[in-house]
C-alpha cells in the first residue's frame, strides 16, 4: 500500500495531484479548509481510498494533530511508500511591506513556511521506525529565488522553505533509511492564485501587467500537466535529497 498526504487538496494543483494519485492500492489523505466535494466518490470509483481532514494549516497549534490523524490507522509495516506533499500556499497580501497588515503578513508565513516545516517534522517523528520509502515534496516557487515588489512575505517564506528542505536533506542523508525531500518550483500555473494576482491593483504590485500578459498569451501551464510533472519528480531519484529544483529546468 502507498500512502500519500496532500495539503491544499481541495483545488488547483493540490487537487490535480490528488486526482492523479487515485489508483488501486493507494491510500490518500487530503487536507484543506474546505470539504472534499465529489473527490471521495471519484476516488472510490478509481479504487483508491481517500480520507479527508478539514482544517486550516495556518493554525500552527493544529498541525501535529493533523499529521497524527493522517497517519492514524496505518500500521508501520502496512505501507511500503509514504509521501507528504506540502502544497498548500497563499500569495496574499499583495502589497508593499510598508502598507501590508501585520496579521496578513504573519498568516502568509504561517501557511507557506511554518505549516510545511511543522508537518514535515511531525512526519519524520511519527514515521521514524517505519520500514518504508518515505518522501516529502515541498511545493516552492521561483519567487523564493527572485525578489518581487509587493510579495515580501511570499518570497521570504518560499526562500525559507527551500532552505528548510536543504537542511532536512542534509540531516537525513546521514540517517539509516532517511527520507528523501525535495523543494520544487512548479512554474506559472493556471490556478486561482494567478487569478488573484491579476485582480490586484497595479499600484500595489508593480509586475501586475506581466502576469496579465502571461494569461492573455496562453503562457500559463495547466494544473494537470504540472501535477503530472511534479509527481514524476517526486519519484525521480536522480536528484539528491535536499535538492531545490524548478520544474521548468527539468
CB 90 within 8 A of CB 111: yes
Q: Is residue 54 classed as helix, strand or coil in its secondary structure?
A: strand
| Closest to 184 in 3D by CA, of 117, 123, 122, 249 | 249
**Which residue among the candidates 154, 164, 205, 211 is catalytic per the annotation?**
154
**Beta strand segments in the chain, E:** 2-7, 26-32, 49-54, 81-86, 133-139, 180-185, 244-246
* Under 8 Å between Cβ of 185 and 140: yes
Residue 154: active-site member = yes
> 228 is written with which cell numbers?
503530472
Catalytically active residues are 154
Amino acid at each position: 500500500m502507498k500512502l500519500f498526504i496532500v495539503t491544499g487538496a481541495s483545488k488547483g494543483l493540490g487537487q490535480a495531484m490528488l486526482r492523479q494519485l487515485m489508483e488501486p492500492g493507494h491510500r490518500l489523505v487530503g487536507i484543506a479548509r474546505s470539504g472534499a466535494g465529489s473527490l471521495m466518490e471519484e476516488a472510490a470509483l478509481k479504487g483508491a481510498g481517500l480520507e479527508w481532514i478539514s482544517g486550516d494549516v495556518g493554525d500552527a497549534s493544529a498541525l501535529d494533530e493533523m499529521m497524527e490523524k493522517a497517519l492514524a490507522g496505518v500500521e508501520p509495516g502496512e505501507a511500503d511508500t509514504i509521501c507528504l506533499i506540502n502544497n498548500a500556499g497563499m500569495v496574499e497580501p499583495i502589497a508593499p511591506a510598508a502598507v501590508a497588515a501585520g496579521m496578513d503578513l504573519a498568516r502568509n508565513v504561517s501557511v507557506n513556511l511554518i505549516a510545511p516545516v511543522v508537518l514535515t517534522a511531525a512526519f519524520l517523528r511519527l514515521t521514524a521506525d517505519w520500514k518504508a520509502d518515505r518522501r516529502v515534496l515541498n511545493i516552492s516557487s521561483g519567487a523564493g529565488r527572485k525578489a518581487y515588489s509587493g510579495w515580501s512575505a511570499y518570497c521570504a517564506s518560499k526562500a525559507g522553505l527551500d532552505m528548510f528542505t536543504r537542511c532536512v536533506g542534509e540531516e537525513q542523508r546521514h540517517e539509516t533509511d532517511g527520507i528523501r525531500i525535495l523543494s520544487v518550483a512548479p512554474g506559472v500555473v493556471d490556478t486561482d492564485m494567478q487569478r488573484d494576482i491579476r485582480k490586484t491593483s497595479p499600484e500595489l504590485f508593480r509586475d501586475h501587467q506581466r502576469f496579465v500578459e502571461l494569461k492573455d498569451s496562453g503562457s500559463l501551464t495547466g494544473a494537470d500537466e504540472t501535477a503530472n510533472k511534479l509527481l514524476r519528480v517526486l519519484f525521480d531519484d536522480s536528484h539528491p535529497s535536499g535538492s531545490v529544483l524548478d520544474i521548468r529546468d527539468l
